[in-house]
Structure 1
Amino acid sequence: MQFKQTTILGLFDSSQKHFIIPVYQRAYSWDNKNLPIFLSDLKEQIQGENGYFYGNILLETIKKDIEYEIIDGQQRLTTIVIFMRSILDVLSERDLSDSPDFDILQKKTIYLKNGGNVKLRTVDYDRACFETLIIDGHNKFQLSSPSQNRINDAKKYFKKELGTVSTGDLLKIIDLLETTEITSIELNSKADSALMFELQNNRGKDLTNMEKLKSYFMYQMYINSPADETQNNVEYIADIFKSIYLVINDITSLDEDSVLIYHCNAYIKGFPYRTIEDIKEVYLKSKNRILWMREFVKELCISFDNIKKMEKSNLKYLNDLRRLTIPRFAYPFIIKGYKFFEGDSTRLNSLYHILEIVTFRYKLVSSRADFLSRINEILLSFNGDLLNLKEHFRNKFNETWYWGDEKVKEVLNGYMYQNPTIHYILGKYENHIQNKGYVVEGVEIESVNIEHISPQTPPDNKKIAHGYETNSRNRYNEDFENEYINCLGNLLLISETHNKSIGNKPFKEKIMSYNQNPLFNQQAEIKKFVRDEAEPLWDKDAIDNRHLAIVDNFALDKWNFNNVVIK
């Protein structure tokens, strides 16, 4: 182990020396929260007289004085290289005749590439992007991952901000950065690197939980392995995390720590899982710690891979879950489902169907009752038996009442306007009636509103238009206003422009507009609930009949667990 006090210039300034970010490390993660802080620090420092310190970096020596893997510090060193490319690009467009000693080409050979020697090589899957945009300085690349977007965004951000800085200050910033002190710690093996990384970073502020877990496991392998197995065991952890980070870069809907949480919900403590301290607690109780760690990281890698598979899936009920917005409690069930079903799309779709009903009921009822504690037992006992899972949810919901059949019916029969599921319910009802013979041309609608067929009470004491159930003063009775205006039978999907055009118009005009512009079949079917087409009246009977069609004849069956087919 060697500690070297050097500068940024001293770290990079060698014709053969280069740094590699191993693929088991995170890809580039700095974004618009980190970049302004980095730049503002530099701007502030050139106004002062004190030196600047950039902290420690941890390197594994692959070939002395030539090749090093970055164990800790990859985000900072990557940012320095992106920053140098950006500032040199800006300076290349400036008049530098007053600074004859400043050589842009020389700086590029120090920080970017010296002949064929690329000074910083990122993780494999971002290398082509990084070398195209940063090392070679091109402005276009087909970006295909979040980290590649962040590399591109960082370069654009620095060039834009530095473009407003005077040439004199840009040269001062380069001088400041090059003379910035840094301590490089050079280690000779991954085992030594694991030990130092854990000692240095187990309380670090900026590490993700995944990074902390990786360093903890590598350190534990170091101290628990027999001497002749240490290197192999540490490298096993590194290789598994290499595979995980390859997958992470392809996952777009969840961050790495969220997947870690859902995996631990599934396999560690259920929903009471909170932090990696819970993982450590279970690990420290294991009889064979080496085997436990190997099995845990292997299963964790499988979970990440299955989340990637889920993102690419278009199974019917998964898409319905997406429309509802997949809640966090669903992911541990999904992770377990992929493990048990191994790509069986029929059983996976049945699992998604169960979760769609659970999610719908959860969002429909919007209870303050502790949902997770009530379903934790269901999660922990789920072993791939879908019939048992379905019955477990049905029984638990009906026992606790909050999300049971009677409560669902009560909510559907009550005030539904502004309920978080209202668009979803009426959208599914639309699909239901289309399958029963109401056919219109498919139309893409930019914005969909919820229309009150009997209009809401107009402001400023304006009278309600003709054709609705009102009293002699053209006002709604109290029971009509409380029980009918915002019930499902009186609510309709409609385009935003159509909704604005009809407002408080007489019902005869409104139903005519429904028939003339039937973007949704539910608009066209309104006439079937009205008794007299010549003088149509939208009254309690009409609303009750439509409410019955939506709730009793559709919704109560649609979101009933009996509706799940399990083969």
Structure 2
Amino acid sequence: MKINPESKPISEIFSIEGRTIYNIPIYQRNYSWHENNIEALYNDVINEDDGYYLGNLLVTSTENPVEYNVVDGQQRLTTIALLFLAIYEALKDINTPDLDHTDLKSFFSLQRDIERKLITAYGSRLRLLESDQEIFESYLKVFEDQEKGKYGHRTFGKRYKFIQELIGEKDDEGKLIHNFKTLEYLYNKLNNVELLRITVNDLTDAYSVFTSLNAKGLPLTLIDLLKSYYLSEAVKEFSEKKALERWKDLISMFMVNEEPNATAVTQFLQNNYDAFEGEGNTSITKKSSLRKYEQLFKIKGHYYMDVLIQNAELFSMMVPRLRTNTSISYSTKLISILDKLSKLDASAVYPLVLKLLKSFSESKINEENLIIILNYLINYYVRRNIVLKPKSSNIRAKAIQSVRILNGVNNLNETGINVVKENLNQISVSDEEFNTSLNGSIYDTSPQTVRFMLIEIERKYGKFFSKQISDNLDDVNQNGQYIWTLEHILPQSPNLTDDWKKMISPENVDYAEILQKENMHKLGNLTLTGYNSELSNRDFVFKRDYGQSNGTSYLGLRTNLFINESIFNESSFETKNTWTVEDINNRTALLARLIVEEFSID
């Protein structure tokens, strides 16, 4: 096996002079990164030092010496290309007469360079799968001053729109505004991050390398390096055996399947530093955390391990899969609240939550007021995940700012919620923005948050679950999958049946698929079911009455859930035989109103 690993800056991967083309083979999946993946990459590019290692790019060589097939790394490669394209489009919004001579020269040079990065003499440098490439090439028409196609309902188009909003700020009218210096800075930062491009001869060799890279036995992690820093100080005071025992006490907080979870340790160390050691409002980066903790062990010695263990126990209570590793005991109600927060990918506020749990352990805040603040954070994140703003980095800055203020407060019962709300509400979304997003195609935005909202609405208003029927909405099966999943009433399958086509577009069945794409992911078309695979692409009446034919109670849309009542409106179950775009929009408006009320931050 011949392997050629090369560390390459993005400036060489997307070279303004090179002819290299990266082809996504047919066996790969489409571009599938979500907003949180994109934002994490963006934050790494912005916050880490030049030369930051962004990951691997595993490729196989082809007969064409300038063309590679991408085996691993497609998602980050596509995201980087879209970031360059978004910078180019943002530059077009700059008012060039406002630039001085030097900036004006850099402005035009930057535009030319981005075009050369993405377009070669042989076409686009990145060749995606057919459906993605169609959109990508349409977007590349901006280099020819042609209008782009409208693909806002497609996943690829939505992710690009998110990237455009990520690199800009909005004015009071909601229009994106850009600054040339900021865009130039982002362009340079992006050029200077590095990928490890690993080239092999064929797919068999690529698979061997891929499995090796993703198996155990990876290079040194933050855990290993932290261990070396700690032991170097601890052995000065007591035996290596005792030092190792204390180390194991810390790592035991992060054991998953008998192995320490490196990601969880890294998250803890960053959040611990931001909550208790940092001074400003900026979050510590992964790279700088190494130096910071080395300094902490040198200054505070091995005693600092006791502090880390205590804080690690608190952090583990925030993460359900780690909770069994701790000896802390919380009430069922508080555990339930922490579980809800963990389902919303609210890691940006973890420094604040860690601070609050520490204050709770020190009796600086009681459970009632702690839960009030945590419920506020839950509502805040539901809204954030649906509207996709503010940015996670901005939320984290406000959360850290709240921590700094709370550090000077002994009794958080009196001021805690006010401090948190005053900081986070400065960048919160309005009810109007929340309602507007709820009336859009929200399933594609954040399906896990949609499921969360529907469950909370059901629990508040529903009467299906009782002493005889236990609430199992959050239960999982033997494969670890939720029993109750989201169900599309109008199917999302691309092979829509003729009955469905006639139902949603009776006057022109050829228009049905367009209506399907525009409406299938709306809130009003979604419900919860334990029989997703059975309902699948079946017609509306089958979904309505599923279960009755087997002599059982209704298991389909007639399941006596509160959220199902709005499917039928005032009609009886038996006479409601159709499901139309009007039905979807009406139910969307009804559920959206309930959700805006339920997840208020006022």
Q: TM-score, normalization: structure 2?
A: 0.46
Q: TM-score, normalization: structure 1?
A: 0.49
Structure showing greater radius of gyration is 1
